[in-house]
Structure 1
Amino acid sequence: MSKIKILDESTIQQIAAGEVIERPSSIVKELIENSIDAGSDNIIIEIQDGGKSYIRVTDNGEGMNKEDIELAFKRHSTSKLQTVEDIYNVLSLGFRGEALASISSVSDVEVLSKTKNSDIGIQAFVKNGHVVESNSIGCPKGTTIIVRNIFYNLPVRQKFLKSSNIESNHISEIINKLALGNSKVSFKFIKDGNIILKTPQNNTLLNTIYSVLGKDYHKNLIPINYLVNDLKISGFISNNNLYRANRNHQYLYINGRYISNLNLSKIIEKQYKSLIPLNRLPVFILNIELSPNEVDINIHPTKQEVKFVNSEYIYNNITNIIREKLMPSVVVPEMKPFNNKGEDKNPLPELFDSLDYTDKIEDKKDEKDINIIVKDLALDTYTLDNYTGKKEVFSVVDEKEKLSNYNKKYLNISSNKSLYKDEVVVEQKIEDILLDIKPIGRVFNTYILAESKNENKLFFIDQHAAHERIMYEKYRREYENEKIITQGLLYPEVLQLTNQELDMVNENKDLFEKLGFILDEFGDNSIALRGVPMIFGEPKIKDLFLDILDGLSKNIKNNYETKIEKIMKISCTNAIKSGDKIDNLEIMTLFEDLKKCNNPYTCPHGRPTLIELSKKDIEKQFLRIL
């Protein structure tokens, strides 16, 4: 007797349903997509008990007659495809003809539907893909599908369902994704009798975002509208003031269909480097419209994973438009003035896991808390050309100063790359903010005060964050132009390393040399550091190099560019610190250097370099205005 047997139809349907219907939110997704495909512009979703006992989706679409209902619940029956070739031109959200059959095989289904040309509607009860009862009934045009007792015949699957609250959250997430991808459709979500979400009908995406995500998103978004050949990219991206700890608020759509594409997300996130804090991610809602035959959506049952025929073309255009729109829209954070209630305590995340790169303000008892320079600092008096600052941390040495500041302790050894004759001209992308303000003093030996000439605003500039940005951009610019100058140490610094650290050095030796470090093995797990990038001035060389090794060893992928970024950011911790005293001349140099940065608004780790306080906010505190 044969061991192999043909499964009965009921078992086949339940197994197939398990691939399509994972939980109540899967049912909601399939029913809403059917409603959208039916031309609905008003969809109401009602659930009870997290959708485990009751789901109702009502639309005002085309509706179905009795024959349509009987066919709709048969497996592989669809109105959206005729041949296999149609898959590559399909624009509807659903097309396989599996969803309704799968739903009816694991739950009790009731359908009420009426077409535009019918005088009366149809009520039908469906089990396992078969209409077991039907009646004529009065109902409005469109379709209502009620699903009860999900997984009643699969008790093991029922046990894997989470609490009603968790299942409701999954449903809410699905509705949010579909609402943001279909702003012309009105959505109403009712949970246990309470309206959770209501979006306007025939409205703009921005208003839908306001309804779904709230005003904090609404006011921090940059519009995207890009068209090249047959590719259109539209939607919104966040500015540098809006970011989250995960990708839950990143919404990508292909021809209106929500997708999950990690490569696309990472390409967009890359443009936010140094604009938002480390370990934080941007928010975006983007729809990519292209010819259906340029994308394959039939590679996963949920249709959320896609493959592009020409992915590089898509990625390059995404990169270009994000870069073009993001930098001009960088905003200066506004200070929340004098919050006496102690609200909004939300400290910045640690910028690095093991190293404290966020400079802390030291409480120096022998200094006054506030040291305001009252006089005007005469913005036009000092320039970079005639600056000879006293502190090494401000010494950014070019070829004209090879030996002037280093002949006591250093021998100058240029790298084998050609030296540059003129400073690299950086494309100015800053707005008029920094061009319109002038420094007027300092407070707490940490923050430079600057006053707006025209806008009645006061700015606080973090001297440490600003100098980190200046050093980082200059270091990166020198690297990209292969013009890093190495300063040789008169007395090599010998570092004793562990086996793991020595392996890390050997693995990245070529990278260190490209970045301006000269080092040799010294035997017995030691290395001799003979040269460092001249831009660092006189750092604590041993501590700096060990910090770089620690940074490379923690959570770092084997990616050359990523390692370069990390080394540069760690190296910039040699910038001036909070609590360091700097004079008027040094303040002006710092300010002038900051204005020349491509991105003067954040440090390399994403912290703001400056924040603003308006005259109006100050006057409110003095009760001059109400």
Structure 2
Amino acid sequence: MADIIQLLPDHVANQIAAGEVVQRPASVVKELLENAIDAGADVIKLIVKDAGKTLIQVIDDGKGMSVTDARLSFERHATSKIRNADDLFKLNTKGFRGEALASIAAIAHVELKTKQDTDDVGTCIVIEGSEVTSQDVVVTPKGTSISVKNLFFNIPARRNFLKSNTVELRHIIDEFHRVALAHPSISFSLYNNGSETFNLPVSNYRQRIVNIFGNKTNEKLVPVEEDTEVLKISGFVGKPEFAKKTRGEQYFFVNNRFIKSAYLNHAILSAFEGLLKNGTHPSYFLNLEVNPQTIDINIHPTKTEIKFDDEHTLYAILRSAVKHSLGQFNIAPVLDFERDATLDTPYNLKGSRTEAPKIEVDSNFNPFQESKPPREQQNSSFKKAPSEHWESLYVGLESKSNGSASNFSELTFESEESTSSLFETKVTPDKANATYQFHNKYIISAIKSGMLIIDQSRAHQRILYEDFLKDITVKEGVSQQLLFPLQLHFSSQELEIVKQLQGDLEHTGFVFSNVTEESIEIKGVPVMVPESEISIILEQLISDVQNEVPDANFSATDLLAKSMAKSLAIKTGQSLQKDEQEHIVNKLFACKEPNVSPTNRVTFITVGVDELDKKFI
């Protein structure tokens, strides 16, 4: 039998490696930014067009590369970060794998310009699909500029799997945030389609967070500091009252490298126990410094997961540090057994001399003696009322009670409203279509063929969804004016999403009085929207736009209607009155698609009489 195993050509091997390294444009951004940081850059500029599908360019002022290094950097397993296997367990750099540039060059058009400070001229290399098309001498400033154009140009199937520009840009901004937060000593800037999105100067860690997420973030931060032999913690956590429905602002950095860890995240949630509302998540920006030899970074292709030698110790230290900070800054109550503030001496009495109280006792007082001599009564400070004529105390009571308008026979007593259970109620013929709420989750109604069971939350979502869709389409949303305008603060990219949806939001009933670079002011809301829910609705809407796909399959209008319906619908566990139950039933079956919710989940089921009869056989 002939041999069937053969070595793959380099360009095919590079495309396979690219499947691990480059999943989307954000993956290219991560690799190029990390290379710029390892090159010792002080200023890094990121330029993207069409969410990175057309162009991703990173310009830095690092030490640059020689002619030989520039050419070798595109070879597989070529890196300047490690020399032997032991270096993998004491890493302080980022791009140590040596496949990033080779993988990127296999699936895109790449142009590299680089120059060292000691050289007069630099090098320009152009590569298309792993093939070097040109290598020339070029005049360029110190550092490196690398442009990645037409990503996945030779793999159309991978390009078709990319999401919309909105979603892909969000992933790019997420990667930009992770790198920029880990290195506040480096200046970063981001340009999207020719406009400046971020300009982050060199600053301290707190100011870097504020520059990214807006000035309003400053008042939300609580500092966390802890230094032990095992772990050094620095950074900030958000105050509980500013917790969000989404997990957006949660960042762990281990030795200046962003990681994801469900275990350490649980330590933070445990520290916030009892301080958060249900369904909300705290924000945190924490830097963890550990010995590089106690962690293994090389366990995941994206290097966002790390294996620790002793996770339990890190968990306990992290939980205690966060809990201590929340107590230290009066965010959480603290037990102090050493001092009771109620026992402190008042300020106006401090330094004054205290005198022992005097106690006077009448030694001649006898409680069993009916009367005393006049002389003793004069000397005694205690006087006893004479017991004679005690009958006079009750004179007139009978006449008052007879003449009073009140009578015990006429008194009425308050009583609790009696409620009967579902099975004690006898359904009379005129109440054949009565509704009942079961476990504050389902609405049960009788029909001719049996019983109808409706999921109250999904049904209400369907009702609101069609109402909002109609208001947006017809542009006749009814608005109620707020007594005082409501000002909400968001980050710059969140405000961009709100601006994109502003027209559709106004058609539903929202009225915007002012939109700035850091906040929006709302003076009118739809009639059915309570003022307390406005910020929650907009946060949920922004999250849905960032995570879902509002492109050819879903319009922005449809997504807006779905998001608002999900936020405003009654929730499972909410008790409903009879008229509310009947209103939901009637409105549901007046909808065009009553069978499913906006997310295509069943809203009701029917149980026939035959099915019930079988249960009793």
TM-score (norm 1): 0.53
Match of 1:195 in 2: 196
Deviations 1:413-439 (A, max 9, x none): xxxxxxxxxxxx992499999999xxx
- Structure-2 change in CA distance of 1:239 and 1:329 (3 Å): farther
Aligned pairs for 1:10-89 within 5 A: 10-89=11-90
Provide the C-alpha distance between the structure 2 equivalents of 1:431 and 1:61, rounded to a whole number of angstroms.
56
Measured against aligned partners, the alpha-carbon deviations of 1:142-192 in whole angstroms (never above 9, x if no partner) come to: 100000010011000000011122211110111011111111111100000
Displacement of 1:9 in angstroms is: 2.2
> Which residue matches 2:282?
282
Q: How many Å separate the matches in 2 of 1:330 and 1:429?
A: 17
Q: SS at 2:304's partner residue?
A: coil
Displacement of 1:246 in angstroms is 2.5
Aligned equivalents of 2:104, 2:301: Cα separation in 1: 14
Change (3 A) 1:434 1:244: farther
Read off the aligned partner of 1:93 and give its amino acid letter. K
Partner amino acid for 1:180?
L
* Partner Cα separation in structure 1 for residue 38 and residue 289 of structure 2: 17
Question: 2-side partners of 1:431 and 1:165: how far apart?
Answer: 56
Q: Which residue of 1 aligns with 2:111?
A: 110
Query: CA offset at residue 128 of structure 1?
Result: 4.4
Distance 1:497 1:95, change over 3 A: farther
Instruction: Encode CA deviations 1:188-219: one digit per residue, 9 max, x unaligned.
Output: 00000111111112x10111101111123221
Q: Which position in structure 1 is the counterpart of 2:349?
A: none
Say which SS state the counterpart of residue 30 (structure 1) adopts.
helix
One-letter amino acid matched to 1:243: A
Partner of 2:227, secondary structure, is strand
**Paired residue secondary structure (1:282):** coil
Q: Given the alignment, which residue of 327, 332, 335 partners 1:427?
A: 335
Distance, in Å, in 2 between the alignment partners of 1:433 and 1:215 is: 36
1:183 is matched with: 184
- Structure 1 residues 11, 431: CA separation in 2 closer, same or farther (over 3 Å shift)? farther
What's the CA shift for 1:497? Answer: 14
Please give the alpha-carbon distance, in whole angstroms, between the structure 1 residues aligned to 2:200 and 2:16: 36
8 A Cα contact 1:49 1:164, kept in partner: yes
Q: 1:432 to 1:236 in 2, by over 3 A?
A: farther
The 3 A distance-change label for structure 1 pair 429 and 142 is: farther
CA distance in 2, matches of 1:4, 1:57: 40
| SS of equivalent to 2:196 | strand
Counterpart contact for 1:76–1:98, Cα < 8 Å:
yes
1:156 is matched with 157
Look up the match of 1:239: 239
Q: Which residue matches 1:302?
A: 302
**Cα separation, 2, equivalents of 1:248 and 1:208:** 17
AA aligned to 2:11 is: S
Q: Secondary structure at the match of 2:240?
A: coil
> 1:73, 1:130 within 8 Å by CA — same for their partners in 2?
no
Corresponding residue number in structure 1 for 2:263: 263
Q: Is the 8 A contact 1:222 1:329 kept in 2?
A: yes
Once residues 311 and 497 of structure 1 are traced to their aligned partners in structure 2, the CA distance between those partners, rounded to angstroms, is: 52
Shift, 1:132, TM fit = 2.7
Residues 69-97 of structure 1: CA deviation (Å, up to 9, x unaligned): 11101010000000011000011011010
Distance in 1 (alpha carbons) for counterparts of 2:169 and 2:339: 45
Task: State the partner residue of 1:326.
Answer: 326
Q: For residues 93 and 245 of structure 1, what CA distance do their matches in structure 2 show? A: 32
Give the superposition deviation at 1:221.
Answer: 0.6
Inter-partner Cα distance in structure 1 for 2:120 and 2:334: 71
- Total equivalences in the alignment: 349
Which one-letter code corresponds to 1:200 in the other structure?
P
Change (3 A) 1:182 1:196: same
Q: Give 1:377-392 correspondences, 5 Å limit.
A: none
The residue that corresponds to 2:482 in the other structure is none
Q: How many angstroms apart in 2 are the aligned matches of 1:63 and 1:214? A: 34
C-alpha offsets along residues 115-162 of structure 1, whole Å, 9 cap, x if unaligned? 111111111112344533112121111100000010011000000011
Deviates more, 1:270-279 or 1:204-213: 270-279
- 2:220 corresponds to which residue? 220
RMSD of aligned residue pairs (Cα, Å): 2.9
Contact persistence 2:129–2:154 (CA under 8 A): no
Which residue is equivalent to 1:454? none
Question: Where do 4+ consecutive residues of structure 1 move more than 6 Å?
Answer: 429-436
Offset at residue 327 of structure 1 (A): 2.1
Q: What are the Cα deviations for residues 7-52 of structure 1, in whole angstroms up to 9, with x where unaligned?
A: 3222211111111100001000000000001111211000101100
Matched residue, 1:170: 171
TM-score, length of structure 2 as denominator length: 0.54
Q: Which runs of 5+ in 2 are unaligned?
A: 345-420, 424-438, 441-531, 533-617
Shift of 1:312: 1.3
Alpha-carbon offset, residue 313 of structure 1: 1.6
Per-residue CA distance 1:558-608 (angstroms, 9 max, x = gap): xxxxxxxxxxxxxxxxxxxxxxxxxxxxxxxxxxxxxxxxxxxxxxxxx9x
Shift in Å, 1:230: 4.7
Look up the equivalent residue of 2:256 and give its one-letter code. G
Q: Which whole-Å CA distance do the structure 1 matches of 2:343 and 2:127 have between them?
A: 70
